[in-house]
Amino acid sequence: MKNLNKFILSLALIASVSTFAQEAAEGEPTTIQGLLQLVEQGRTTEQSVNAKREAEFLADKNKQAAKLAAEKRELARQERIADQLEPNIRKMMQS
Protein backbone atom coordinates (compact mmCIF):
# COMPACT_ATOMS: atom_id res chain seq x y z
CA MET A 1 0.00 0.00 0.00
CA LYS A 2 2.86 2.36 0.85
CA ASN A 3 4.41 1.67 -2.52
CA LEU A 4 1.12 2.39 -4.27
CA ASN A 5 0.80 5.72 -2.47
CA LYS A 6 4.38 6.63 -3.39
CA PHE A 7 3.69 5.64 -6.99
CA ILE A 8 0.53 7.80 -7.16
CA LEU A 9 2.38 10.69 -5.52
CA SER A 10 5.21 10.32 -8.04
CA LEU A 11 2.73 10.36 -10.94
CA ALA A 12 1.08 13.48 -9.56
CA LEU A 13 4.48 15.15 -9.19
CA ILE A 14 5.46 14.23 -12.74
CA ALA A 15 2.13 15.55 -14.06
CA SER A 16 2.64 18.82 -12.16
CA VAL A 17 6.17 19.27 -13.47
CA SER A 18 4.99 18.43 -16.97
CA THR A 19 2.18 21.00 -16.75
CA PHE A 20 4.58 23.61 -15.39
CA ALA A 21 7.04 22.93 -18.21
CA GLN A 22 4.27 23.15 -20.79
CA GLU A 23 3.07 26.50 -19.41
CA ALA A 24 6.64 27.78 -19.45
CA ALA A 25 6.98 26.73 -23.07
CA GLU A 26 3.82 28.68 -23.92
CA GLY A 27 5.44 31.97 -22.90
CA GLU A 28 4.29 32.16 -19.31
CA PRO A 29 6.87 33.65 -16.96
CA THR A 30 8.60 31.12 -14.73
CA THR A 31 10.48 33.55 -12.48
CA ILE A 32 9.73 36.73 -10.60
CA GLN A 33 12.04 38.56 -13.02
CA GLY A 34 10.09 37.15 -15.97
CA LEU A 35 6.81 38.24 -14.40
CA LEU A 36 8.20 41.72 -13.75
CA GLN A 37 9.31 41.99 -17.36
CA LEU A 38 5.86 40.88 -18.55
CA VAL A 39 4.19 43.50 -16.33
CA GLU A 40 6.54 46.23 -17.57
CA GLN A 41 5.84 45.28 -21.21
CA GLY A 42 2.11 45.42 -20.49
CA ARG A 43 2.48 48.83 -18.87
CA THR A 44 4.47 50.13 -21.85
CA THR A 45 1.86 48.82 -24.28
CA GLU A 46 -0.95 50.29 -22.19
CA GLN A 47 0.79 53.68 -22.03
CA SER A 48 1.22 53.66 -25.80
CA VAL A 49 -2.45 52.83 -26.37
CA ASN A 50 -3.54 55.50 -23.88
CA ALA A 51 -1.31 58.13 -25.53
CA LYS A 52 -2.83 57.31 -28.92
CA ARG A 53 -6.37 57.50 -27.53
CA GLU A 54 -5.59 60.82 -25.83
CA ALA A 55 -4.17 62.27 -29.06
CA GLU A 56 -7.28 61.18 -30.96
CA PHE A 57 -9.49 62.66 -28.26
CA LEU A 58 -7.67 65.99 -28.38
CA ALA A 59 -7.84 66.06 -32.18
CA ASP A 60 -11.59 65.41 -32.05
CA LYS A 61 -11.98 68.03 -29.33
CA ASN A 62 -10.17 70.60 -31.48
CA LYS A 63 -12.29 69.71 -34.53
CA GLN A 64 -15.48 70.10 -32.49
CA ALA A 65 -14.29 73.42 -31.08
CA ALA A 66 -13.58 74.67 -34.61
CA LYS A 67 -17.04 73.54 -35.79
CA LEU A 68 -18.67 75.23 -32.81
CA ALA A 69 -16.81 78.49 -33.50
CA ALA A 70 -17.85 78.36 -37.18
CA GLU A 71 -21.49 77.76 -36.22
CA LYS A 72 -21.40 80.65 -33.75
CA ARG A 73 -20.04 82.93 -36.48
CA GLU A 74 -22.79 81.76 -38.84
CA LEU A 75 -25.43 82.38 -36.17
CA ALA A 76 -24.11 85.90 -35.60
CA ARG A 77 -24.17 86.53 -39.37
CA GLN A 78 -27.75 85.28 -39.63
CA GLU A 79 -28.78 87.45 -36.66
CA ARG A 80 -27.24 90.53 -38.34
CA ILE A 81 -29.20 89.78 -41.50
CA ALA A 82 -32.39 89.34 -39.46
CA ASP A 83 -31.73 92.66 -37.69
CA GLN A 84 -31.30 94.38 -41.07
CA LEU A 85 -34.47 92.86 -42.50
CA GLU A 86 -36.66 93.42 -39.47
CA PRO A 87 -37.38 97.12 -40.13
CA ASN A 88 -38.37 96.30 -43.74
CA ILE A 89 -40.71 93.55 -42.57
CA ARG A 90 -42.38 95.92 -40.07
CA LYS A 91 -42.87 98.51 -42.80
CA MET A 92 -44.41 95.92 -45.08
CA MET A 93 -46.76 94.75 -42.34
CA GLN A 94 -47.86 98.29 -41.54
CA SER A 95 -48.68 99.01 -45.16
The DSSP annotation for 44-89 comes to HHHHHHHHHHHHHHHHHHHHHHHHHHHHHHHHHHHHHHHHHHHHHH
pLDDT, tens only, 47-64:
999 999 999 999 999 999
pLDDT of residue 72: 98
Label residue 69 by pLDDT band (50, 70, 90). very high
List, for residues 21-35, the tens digit of each pLDDT value: 555 556 677 899 988
Decide if 51 is inside a domain.
yes
21 in any annotated domain: yes
Residue 80 covered by a domain: no
Q: How many structural domains are present in the chain?
A: 1
Range of the domain at 16: 2-69
Q: Tell me: pLDDT of 94 over 60.
A: yes
Which range in 17-21, 32-36, 69-73, 85-89 is most confidently predicted, on average pLDDT?
69-73
The answer to whether residue 77 sits within a structural domain is no
